[in-house]
Amino acid sequence: MAPPLPVPPITAPPALRRSLQLPHAAAMVIGTIIGASIFVQPSEVTGAVPSVSGVFLVWAIAGLLTLFGALICAELSSAFPEAGGVYAFLSRAWSPAVGFLWGWAMFWTMHSGIIAAIATVFARYLAYFAPLGDIGTRIVAIGVIVILSAINYVGVRHGSLLQTAFTAGKLVAVLLMIVVAFTLGARVPEHFAGGTTPLAGVPLRDTLLALVAGLFAFGGWHMVTYTAEETVDAERTIPRALFIGVMVVTAAYIALNAAYLYVLPLDTVARSTRVAADAADALLGRGGGNVMAGLVMFSTFGAVSGIILTGPRVYYAMARDGLLFPWVAAVHPRFQTPHVAIVLQALWASFLVATGTFRALFTRVVYTEWIFFGVMSLGLIALRRRSEYAPRYRVWGYPVVPVLFALSSGAIVVNQVITAPGESAAGLGLVAAGLPVYLLWRRRASAS
């Protein structure tokens, strides 16, 4: 009798590599939030709330609400340290359908649209130094997406190191800008010129518009939760990174706005479409715009890097849960990254840049993520009632924090619907279109 053939050893499929530590995770929070908005968005806040003290109050409230959201994500990530972050939280708290709708909106509009939009901002500021034209601007934006996707393709550590380096450089640049403003701005005849009553007399609608503009500049704080399965001791690291990151960004934003209002009159800040460049021009002469263009390019490049890194982890988790094609959950055998999801995201974001469709999609759908944030905060309350729920970290001030965050999310959504009913309906329609897709997918999975 012939000897039996040797049985090959059973090898587990490649898994995501845990290499992100606290400095990388905190840098991801900071670097993802600080993009281009803080260099242009203050005019939106100042125009809606025409007083210096009111401006500072709005930015402080926006930072506090962002911190509330971060604390909610901190508890949920300590209970469910899984790839996908918000997707996993919504699925666990409510149902896979809610998580699927989040991932659906992310891929087609919210996340990919943000990548396309910020990459385009980078290309437009590059055109400040070398005219590119419309086609050239789109080619550069797509090139940025491809390069950063390739870096993240070959390893999450490469992407996180790049993100950490750009975040450090970005914070140094912001600090230098603040120091220069308060040093050279001493020659300005009148500082902090404007109304002194914080929000008295300001219509609620205008206050909410200012707050929405401020919160938009804080966007991306939740994305670090997507990388939980690649984070060392995620149950502790991600909550700490969220807290550190949001506090650092809030301090930086308030200080930057103080610098703007120290150098420029309130009405100038309110009218400006490039407030940071105008402040630099006032301090350094006409060459200040070149300095700010370089800073915006540096900042947006780092922000796109972090956003590209985080998104594919959601699509990977959805595919692993049977809500996408199984091959989307493939992990590269050498680099240990969700390489298929990275490629899909790069292709779709590049298509949005090439066609310019990201503008309409982004403006119509970006506010809808606040619907999911409100549902997520209510999900935390629902989870607290379950005996098997055992987070390693618990939100300070429960239940006040999740309730206030849910109410604030609802106010933002209602205000958007009242202000722009047509765009709001289109955005909700795009998100709701994912529900029949989910039902068909589940029916297909049950039949197979």
Say which residues have a Cβ less than 8 Å from residue 245's Cβ, sequence separation at least 6: 26, 28, 29, 30, 33, 70, 221, 224
pLDDT at residue 40 is higher than 50? yes
pLDDT given for residue 417 in this prediction:
86
pLDDT at residue 407 is higher than 80? yes
pLDDT in tens, 157-205: 888 888 899 999 989 988 988 998 898 887 777 777 665 556 666 777 7
Spatial separation of the C-alpha atoms in residues 100 and 88, rounded to whole Å: 9
pLDDT given for residue 10 in this prediction:
45
Percent of the chain with pLDDT over 70: 93
Q: What are phi and psi of 20, to 5 degrees?
A: -85, 125
pLDDT in tens, 339-360: 999 999 999 999 999 998 776 7
Task: Find the range with the poorest average confidence among 189-203, 273-287, 300-314, 428-442.
Answer: 189-203
The answer to whether the beta carbons of residues 196 and 16 sit under 8 Å apart is no
pLDDT at residue 230 is higher than 80? yes
pLDDT given for residue 38 in this prediction:
85
Residue 194 Rama label (left phi>0; alpha psi -120 to 50; beta): left
In terms of pLDDT, which residue wins out, 12 or 236?
236
In terms of pLDDT, which residue wins out, 138 or 2?
138
pLDDT band at 8 (very low <50, low <70, confident <90, very high): very low
pLDDT given for residue 206 in this prediction:
82
Q: Which helix (H) or strand (E) holds 105?
A: helix 96-105
pLDDT in tens, 236-262: 999 999 999 999 999 999 999 999 999
Give whichever of 1-5, 39-43, 68-72, 259-263 has the largest mean pLDDT. 68-72
pLDDT at residue 121 is higher than 90? no
Looking up tokens 């025409």 gives: 50
Q: How many CB atoms lie within 10 A of CB 152?
A: 29
Spatial separation of the C-alpha atoms in residues 209 and 48, rounded to whole Å: 7
Looking up tokens 């640049």 gives: 173
Spatial separation of the C-alpha atoms in residues 303 and 349, rounded to whole Å: 15
Spatial separation of the C-alpha atoms in residues 107 and 102, rounded to whole Å: 9
pLDDT in tens, 90-105: 999 999 999 999 999 9
pLDDT band at 271 (very low <50, low <70, confident <90, very high): confident
DSSP 396: T
pLDDT given for residue 251 in this prediction:
96
pLDDT at residue 332 is higher than 90? yes
Measured CA distances, 167 to 89, 96, 302 (Å): 27, 34, 7
Q: What is the pTM of this model?
A: 0.90
Report the pLDDT averaged over residues 329-334. Answer: 93
Q: In 67-187, where do the E strands start and end?
A: none
Percent of the chain with pLDDT over 90: 54
pLDDT given for residue 124 in this prediction:
84
pLDDT at residue 66 is higher than 90? yes
DSSP 10: P
The answer to whether the beta carbons of residues 57 and 239 sit under 8 Å apart is no
Average pLDDT for the chain: 88
pLDDT in tens, 136-160: 999 999 999 999 999 999 988 888 8
Spatial separation of the C-alpha atoms in residues 160 and 32, rounded to whole Å: 11
pLDDT given for residue 11 in this prediction:
47
Classify residue 320 as exposed, middle or buried by CB count within 10 Å of its CB (0-12, 13-18, 19+): middle
pLDDT at residue 223 is higher than 50? yes
Spatial separation of the C-alpha atoms in residues 112 and 311, rounded to whole Å: 8
